[in-house]
Amino acid sequence: MLWLQGFLKSLKYASEGITYTLVTQRNMQIHFVLAFLVMIFCLILDVSRLEIILVFFAIVMVIAAELVNTAIESLVDLVTDEYHRLAKIAKDTAAAAVLLTALHAIIVGLLVFHDKLWPLQMRPMSSFTIEWYFLLLGPVILLYFIVRSLAMRSSVNRERG
Ligand SMILES: Nc1ncnc2c1ncn2[C@@H]1O[C@H](COP(=O)(O)OP(=O)(O)OP(=O)(O)O)[C@@H](O)[C@H]1O
């Protein structure tokens, strides 16, 4: 039972990290809104299982890179508030990682959706299987963090001072 408590605790801390990043980083807010829309496209458009896997992977990479970027920015700011060449390298390199994943996601999005949005190719009724309900988890999780970050906006900003 102890391991379950430990697991739930680390889940809580990780979700606090996502919420903090979502409240404080404008780029993360943009990533979340775009990811939500793209996931809705995946739910309603006629995309294959492999295409969905590629799109979801691209989304996860962008969000994970933004989380690591925020962690590095915070660490650098903790160590120094003065200009330092190494601080600049750390922040610029972390930002470059986000940029790279975002460019990759744009390319994946264009390749997957360009011929499905116009003319609209809707998902056939026969493909609304159990798998489709499983897919719903993606936008539901994003929505959970969007609502949570809106609710916690004032307390997180107060903590930051
Ligand atoms: N202590 C520092 N020493 C040297 N350069 C820094 C330092 N802090 C920031 N910079 C430079 O300024 C840029 C912007 O830094 P900042 O901390 O404002 O991050 P940001 O990309 O604006 O992130 P945020 O999304 O939090 O606004 C960095 O990419 C880096 O080039």
Instruction: Give the confidence band of 155 by pLDDT, cuts at 50, 70, 90.
Output: confident
Token pair in block for residue 13 = 């801390």
| ipTM (interface predicted TM) | 0.92
- The C-alpha atoms of residue 134 and residue 132 are separated, in whole angstroms, by 5
Q: Provide the pLDDT for residue 129.
A: 85
Domains of the chain, each with CATH number or no CATH: 26-160 (1.10.287.3610)
Q: Between the CA of residue 110 and those of 26, 45, 71, 121, what are the distances in Å?
A: 23, 14, 30, 15
- The C-alpha atoms of residue 146 and residue 152 are separated, in whole angstroms, by 10
> Is 66 in the active site?
yes
Q: How many CB atoms lie under 10 A from the CB of residue 87? A: 18
Q: Which atom of ligand 1 is nearest to 80's Cα?
A: 1
Q: Is the CB of 92 under 6 A from ligand 1?
A: yes
Q: Is the CB of 91 under 6 A from ligand 1?
A: yes
Q: Is the CB of 29 under 6 A from ligand 1?
A: no
Q: Which atom of ligand 1 is nearest to 81's Cα?
A: 1
Q: How confident is the model over 24-29, as a mean pLDDT?
A: 98
